[in-house]
Amino acid sequence: MTHIDAGAELDPVHPVALPRSPVAGLSPAEVAERVARGQVNDVPVRSSRSLGEIVRANVLTRFNAIIGVLWLIMLCVAPIQDSLFGFVILANTGIGIVQEWRAKQTLDSLAVIGEARPTVRRGGRATEVATHEIVLDDLIEIGPGDKIVVDGVCAEAEGLEIDESLLTGEADPVVKRPGDPVLSGSFVVAGGGAFTATKVGREAYAAQLAEEASRFTLAHSELRTGISTILKYVTWMMVPAAIGLVVTQLVVKNNGFKDAVARTVGGIVPMVPEGLVLLTSVAFAIGVIRLGRKQCLVQELPAIEGLARVDTVCLDKTGTLTEGGMDVTELRTLDGADETYVRKVLGSLGESDPCPNASLQAIIAAYPDSEEWRCVESLPFSSARKYSGAAFSEGDGETSTWLLGAPDVLLAPEDPALAETERLNQQGLRVLLLARATRDLDAAEPARNATPTALVVLEQRLRPDAADTLRYFAEQDVRAKVISGDNAVSVGAVAAKLGLDGTAADARHLPGDRAGMAQALDEGTVFGRVTPRQKREMVGALQSHGHTVAMTGDGVNDVLALKDADIGVAMGSGSEATRAVAQIVLMNNSFAGLPAVVAEGRRVIGNITRVATLFLVKTVYSVLLAVLVVCWQVEYPFLPRHLTLLSTLTIGVPAFFLALAPNKERARPHFVRRVMRYAIPGGAVAGAATFVTYLVARHYYTGPGGLDAETSAATLTLFLVSLWILAIIARPYTWWRVTLVAAMGVAFLLVLAVPALQDFFALQLVGVTMPWTAVGIAVVAAAALEFLWKWAGRRFSDQSVPTSRPRSRPWR
């Protein structure tokens, strides 16, 4: 707390060995010498996977290996049209690589914009440099909100307090004095100073942790974990079904070798839902690109998924609902204090803080320093204390000590000045109290018995887009909770101006236990006088009641809550500490960007849930058909070309468009259970209907060429049933969804009508009776699907996949 002369000698008996760096910092020659020796902060910048890693991740997969082997076999034994599935896999994999590469470029470009640029003192001048340009023994200046980027030793301190909670778990700030060690990964919460870098690069304490935590990753996601679980079960089902199919087609039926191999491969290929993994990666990557265009930096890819599950968003008032700047609108002296003298005190207080916050900056603008007083001691503002202070040596030799902060913290509960403060707060104004202290600043309670002198009234600037954003959250069933360190009445008035209804509560009177706090949070909307530790406890309390919580903030007092929230959202202009722990950074500092972030998360996970059903229906009916073929000892009804055509028209093309469509519905947990409860009955109906048509056609068609006719009839039934499943998945209908389904139907009719396409895909409907029989079986199957879809929706009370009755208007 004591004002320190920058040139003062350090304590020679301090246990930490101090590097002998001059206060002026390193000279250019010394910097060049250290760079030549490799003593630079060469920790790799946070980035996505390299191009080689992206290619390997998209190409070298288990299912690509299976499909690749089968493709090579088909190229050797069958016409090129039976090998189309291999070219489709190549195209899909190429799309996945391109999309992730674009996402990487978007991420890296935004990361450069948001990268911290510490201030180093070199040759007596303060200069901003990139983090990787710091060298050993650099003198780095720090202030509130700055993150410590390398290990070092404190060289200068003016009320310097550092929070090391991200490293040690201890939430209480640590006061630092010259000679004390500072660790990378911690951040400044109050005061300012400078430290000398003693460990840089990979030697720094938090370097490996920071590098690993900020990687662009697809891991640790319920969606991807669920897909991996599904693929594991698919593999277990696929192996015995494929073995039985091979034995049946090659040994039992005595078909020609090439035809038997083609039909065997035709049975195995559709069991693999290879496009599901690819489409998930593409959807995530496109989400990164879309958010990047809106100046939203996604630091962890699963954050996009987490946003879809958010049902509660906690908002910090300052910097979120209000803009950072404030204006002094009035000065009210108390107990006959001299206004001219009070103005001089306020001007000196502003000058005493080397790193003023927004409130103090407004005071500095309104009351310039007279330069007649000298600061002899200072106490920087802290979110935990709610006030700052300074002691001055006035021109006549007298010393006075002053405090500036929250009236309800500095004053006794019965003080009459609080009533006036309350009236001003109800108007949405922010009020600070200037009080003369009777105790030293380094005393245990410097605010005790302080004499109130004046009220400083400040007007906060509301963000013009805040009201629309809060309205969006209300419409999307996301509850907004305003959590602020300011006075509860003032915060409540600001929230009311923005149209946010609800009661305002003082956090100092909240229950201390988690259950009681959670109950109060469920009932209330606005909370004031919240300490940084309470913000963290509030997030935990909401999570204990089953809520998925997003936390927004820009100041150091928000760091702990951001870290514990399911999704942390920081402002780009906020402190480096908040940007470091947040999963999403709004680079344009616009609160209006949050709806786009939430909507993108919902779009990704909601649409993947939709299209996963399409892919897994194909897997289920493919396995079922293989089992039925083995049991009935008949030829497999399809060649690979048939299933390539069906998969393209009823799954591949529609899934791509559905995966990128708008989707505002909040995601629900238990992805695997929700998808399989629709995929299993849908696939079972499709497989059974197709096999019935095939058996009927085998009985109906006798003689040469019968197998092609049987295959064509079975293909017609399977297409119609799959198209009906697509029509169900596409609900609620919009003009483009109806057009999409209709276009797939028209494309199939085109194949049946054009002779060249008939020959290419080996499809030709013979006669009239059997094709109409195939259509009739498909109609019965469609009715069964409608019944099963409705039953599944009622049975499991889950609306995440649309039932036959849409919940919104069928046309838009």
Q: How confident is the model at residue 415 (pLDDT cuts 50, 70, 90)?
A: confident
pLDDT at 660: 78
635-644 tens-digit pLDDT: 888 888 888 8
Helix runs in 499-566, H state only: 514-523, 532-544, 559-564
722 touches 650 (CB < 8 A): yes
What Å distances lie between residue 189 and 383, 488, 547, CA to CA?
8, 23, 29
Is the pLDDT at 348 greater than 70? The verdict is yes
Contacts 24+ apart (CB under 8 A), 625-631: 625/267, 625/687, 625/690, 625/691, 626/241, 626/242, 626/244, 626/245, 626/267, 626/268, 626/271, 627/241, 627/244, 628/687, 628/691, 629/245, 629/248, 629/267, 629/691, 630/241, 630/244, 630/245, 630/247, 630/248
What average pLDDT does the structure give for the chain? 79
Within the chain, which residue ranges are assigned CATH 3.40.1110.10? 322-462
Is the pLDDT at 112 greater than 80? The verdict is no
Within the chain, which residue ranges are assigned CATH 1.20.1110.10? 60-102+218-289+602-796
Give the residue-averaged pLDDT of 529-533: 82
pLDDT at 120: 92
Give the residue-averaged pLDDT of 645-658: 88
State the DSSP string of 642-696: HHHHHHIIIIIHHHHHHHTS---PPP-S-HHHHHHHHHHHHHHHHHHHHHHHHHH
513-527 tens-digit pLDDT: 888 898 889 888 999
pLDDT at 362: 85
φ, ψ at 150 (rounded to 5°)? -140, 165
pLDDT at 217: 42
Is the pLDDT at 688 greater than 70? The verdict is yes
pLDDT at 795: 63
pLDDT at 778: 94
Which of the listed CATH numbers 3.30.1010.10, 3.40.1110.10, 3.40.640.10, 1.10.3720.10 matches domain 322-462? Answer: 3.40.1110.10
Q: How confident is the model at residue 4 (pLDDT cuts 50, 70, 90)?
A: very low
Instruction: Enter the pTM of the model.
Output: 0.64
Is the pLDDT at 742 greater than 60? The verdict is yes
State the DSSP string of 744-788: HHHHHHHHHH-HHHHHHHT----SSHHHHHHHHHHHHHHHHHHHH
Identify the three-state secondary structure at position 274.
Answer: helix
Identify the three-state secondary structure at position 392.
Answer: strand
Residue type, 653: V
Give the residue-averaged pLDDT of 193-202: 87
* CATH number for the domain formed by residue range(s) 60-102+218-289+602-796: 1.20.1110.10
Which segment of 106-110, 166-170, 560-564 scores lowest on mean pLDDT? 166-170
Is the pLDDT at 269 greater than 60? The verdict is yes
Give the residue-averaged pLDDT of 762-782: 90
* CATH number for the domain formed by residue range(s) 1-59+119-216: 2.70.150.10
d(CA 118, CA 150): 10
Q: According to the per-residue pLDDT averaged within each range, which of 73-77, 186-190, 426-430, 523-527 is highest?
A: 523-527
pLDDT at 472: 86
pLDDT at 109: 65
What Å distances lie between residue 481 and 300, 304, 406, 495, 797, CA to CA?
24, 21, 22, 10, 29
Percent share of the chain, pLDDT over 90:
13
Higher pLDDT, 695 or 764: 695
Is the pLDDT at 386 greater than 90? The verdict is no
The three-point CA angle 86-626-723 to 5° equals 65
Higher pLDDT, 60 or 165: 60
d(CA 115, CA 228): 34
Q: Could you list the active site residues?
A: 316
Which segment of 48-57, 690-699, 717-726 scores lowest on mean pLDDT? 48-57
Which segment of 293-302, 340-349, 654-663 scores lowest on mean pLDDT? 293-302
Which segment of 59-68, 203-212, 275-284, 433-442 scores lowest on mean pLDDT? 203-212
